[in-house]
């Protein structure tokens, strides 16, 4: 049953068709400098003991999110799905997977988050559906040349009977990107075979996504995270380039057949018109894997409004790399008239506490294949650097995206058994890449009990015994825990937040990244291992020594540590 959005006073309303636009738009409450927390619903909290996280589970943990102080929660897909790709294979974009909940429970979650002033962002997956989507099943049944097939990217195979794929393209998860359907036609799937690509030249596909955006906006959703935002529109005119030609990297700046084509921005202009139907306008952030100079178009105010910048994910914890990445991205944000985004972890990458525990340059997939032991991670150092990097990022202008569990300092689970792996990468790469399950293991809420408080059933990915050391319960009362650090940093950030600029300090020791935000807020990160002098000011936060007494006594900044200082004017 659908709840009337109007009953929740926090749900912004949609303008009626005959209402004239207001002369002055209210700014979106998601803001340009939000802290957004990503929930991977199947691994957050399980209320019914089936081993799979669910919406009531998330609702029961809203107090954790409120205590953390985040401005918004981004929910990875919770739609009906066979889980061929962790829910990014969507059967029906306007429903909830019955194992995860109901639409009414979704409304309850939105109301609970809104009651704490936390905005809600949902994932939109527009490049592909699942192969169980009604339209894809109709397409298979209807046969070659049918209008039903025109909604997807079907092609006649090569050879007399269409027995060979239309091109030698490889899918992102491995294996061929074309799948035969047995009648001479093949369909394109840039990801898993269970994820057929939509045909974005088809007006019904375009219209259907506008309906989806309005469906969730009407239910009180404040914003959208757009999956693979760069891949929707395609030019598959013959002759198709070969995979080697694609790999050569010369088909850039809109010339690639399926990546980052200029026409995709027409789609987002239409979406922008939908966002502006609401007051405040809905927001969006693009997951666009494009070169930095092409990112601004996705992030522009006429487009999606914000785009993920994954550059920090790629950086080593190195002062030069961090500073360069920040400088470049702040310049790009200025250029596009939007705010920057910062990401250290998400559901697709090895957690940053583990990346930093390994020597720079470690091939992470090869390391995972070896069970995460060779080289042995320096867990303490990884956590120390992760905390320092997070504190640095939280001091930057723009929006910060946090991934569930990083507030606990969770490392990657690197030794999952092959039999437990769910990521299609494992099978599609024929066991040469383990994939992303190690960062998707269900959260430890308590230090003991079934599934460490995740739920009463056996969790869909097994938790290692050492997860108990990181449990929320254990960190709650500990003044020096990573959870306490995140809470303090997010609360202070809200108080110290200032215009989106910074001033670099250049005269600093090697390995130090130091900048000052307007209003007298200084962040200094020492990525070296020896202590360095602290700049002037009162230390209000440190990613190392953490208690008030420790902060008051700090005279120098230890290695691999960030501190925030305020000067008397603040």
Contact positions toward ligand NOJ, by CB under 6 A?
Answer: 85-86, 88, 125, 191, 227-228, 287, 347-348
Q: How many CB atoms lie within 10 A of CB 378?
A: 14
Contacts of 241 (CB under 8 A, 6+ apart): 167, 251, 257
Cβ closer to ligand NOJ: 131 or 227? Answer: 227
Q: H/E/C letters for each residue in 513-524?
A: EEEEECCCEEEE
Sheet of 35-39: strands edge to edge?
A: 283-286, 223-226, 119-124, 72-75, 35-39, 399-403, 341-343
Between 12 and 405, name the residue whose CB sits nearer to ligand NOJ: 405
Nearer of residues 228 and 284 to ligand NOJ, judged by Cβ:
228
- DSSP state at residue 112: H
Minimum CB distance to ligand NOJ, residue 75 (Å): 13
The helix (run of H) or strand (run of E) holding residue 13 is strand 13-14
Q: From CA 559, how far away is CA 556, in angstroms rounded? A: 10
Q: Catalytic: 277? A: yes
Minimum distance of ligand NOJ from residue 204's CB (angstroms): 21
Dmax of the chain from CA atoms?
A: 80
Burial 61-72 (b: 16+ CB within 10 A, else e): bbebbebbbbbb
Q: Which is nearer to ligand NOJ, 74 or 367 (CB)?
A: 74
Between CA 407 and CA 416, with CA 412 as vertex, the angle to 5 degrees is 140
Burial 230-239 (b: 16+ CB within 10 A, else e): bbbbbeeeee
- Provide the residue count of the chain: 570
Considering 108, 201, 277, 476, which one is annotated as catalytic?
A: 277
* Shortest Å distance, C-beta 166 to ligand NOJ: 21
227 is catalytic: yes
- When the beta carbons of 347 and 517 are compared against ligand NOJ, the nearer one is 347
Given the residues 46, 222, 227, 406, select the one marked as catalytic: 227
Q: What is the DSSP letter of 406?
A: G
Distance of CA 39 to the CA centre of its chain: 9
Q: Which is nearer to ligand NOJ, 228 or 285 (CB)?
A: 228
What residues are labeled active site?
227, 277
């Amino acid at each position: 049953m659908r709840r009337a959005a109007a009953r929740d006073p926090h749900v912004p309303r949609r303008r009626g068709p005959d209402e004239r636009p207001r002369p002055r738009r209210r700014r979106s409450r998601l803001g340009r400098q939000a802290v957004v927390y990503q929930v991977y619903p199947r691994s957050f909290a399980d209320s019914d003991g089936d081993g799979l996280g669910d919406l009531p589970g998330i609702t029961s943990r809203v107090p954790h999110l409120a205590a953390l102080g985040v401005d918004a929660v981004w929910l990875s897909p919770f739609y009906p799905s066979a889980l061929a790709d962790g829910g990014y294979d969507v059967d029906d974009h306007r429903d909830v997977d019955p194992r995860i909940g109901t639409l009414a429970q979704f409304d309850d979650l939105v109301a609970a988050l809104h009651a704490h002033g936390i905005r809600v962002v949902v994932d939109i997956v527009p490049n592909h559906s699942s192969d169980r989507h009604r339209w894809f099943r109709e397409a298979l049944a209807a046969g070659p040349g049918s209008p039903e097939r025109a909604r997807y990217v079907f092609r006649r195979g090569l050879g007399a009977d269409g027995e060979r794929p239309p091109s030698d393209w490889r899918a992102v998860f491995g294996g061929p990107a074309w799948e035969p359907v047995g009648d001479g036609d093949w369909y394109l799937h840039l990801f898993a075979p269970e994820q057929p690509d939509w045909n974005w030249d088809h007006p019904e596909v375009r219209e259907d996504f506008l309906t989806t955006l309005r469906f969730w906006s009407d239910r009180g959703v404040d914003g959208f995270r757009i999956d693979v935002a760069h891949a929707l529109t395609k030019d598959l005119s013959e002759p198709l380039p070969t995979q080697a030609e694609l790999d050569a990297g010369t088909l850039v700046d809109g010339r690639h057949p399926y990546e980052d084509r200029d026409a995709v921005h027409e789609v987002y202009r239409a979406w922008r018109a939908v966002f502006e139907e609401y007051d405040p306008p809905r927001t969006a952030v693009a997951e666009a894997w494009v070169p930095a100079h092409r990112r601004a178009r996705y992030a522009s105010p006429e487009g999606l409004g914000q785009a993920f910048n994954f550059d920090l994910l790629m950086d080593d914890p190195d002062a030069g790399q961090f500073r360069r990445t920040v400088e470049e991205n702040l310049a790009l944000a200025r250029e596009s008239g939007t705010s920057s985004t910062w990401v250290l972890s998400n559901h697709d990458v090895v957690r940053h506490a583990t990346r930093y525990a390994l020597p720079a340059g470690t091939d992470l997939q090869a390391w995972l294949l070896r069970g995460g032991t060779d080289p042995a991670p320096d867990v303490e150092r990884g956590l120390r650097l992760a905390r320092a990097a997070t504190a640095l990022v939280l001091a930057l202008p723009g929006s910060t995206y946090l991934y569930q569990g990083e507030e606990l300092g969770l490392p990657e689970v690197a030794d999952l058994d092959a039999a437990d792996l769910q990521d299609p990468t494992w099978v599609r790469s024929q066991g040469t890449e383990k994939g992303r399950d190690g960062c998707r293991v269900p959260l430890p809420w308590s230090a003991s009990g079934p599934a460490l408080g995740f739920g009463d059933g056996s969790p869909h990915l097994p938790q290692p015994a050492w997860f108990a050391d990181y449990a929320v319960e254990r960190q709650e009362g500990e003044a020096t825990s990573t959870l306490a650090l995140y809470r303090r940093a997010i609360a202070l950030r809200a108080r110290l937040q200032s215009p989106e600029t910074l001033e670099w300090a250049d005269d600093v020791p090697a390995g130090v990244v130091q900048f000052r935000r307007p209003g007298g807020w200084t962040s200094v990160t020492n990525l070296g291992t020896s202590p360095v002098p602290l700049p002037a000011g009162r230390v209000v936060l440190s990613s190392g020594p953490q208690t008030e007494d420790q902060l008051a006594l700090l005279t120098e900044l230890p290695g691999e540590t960030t501190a925030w200082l305020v000067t008397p004017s603040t």
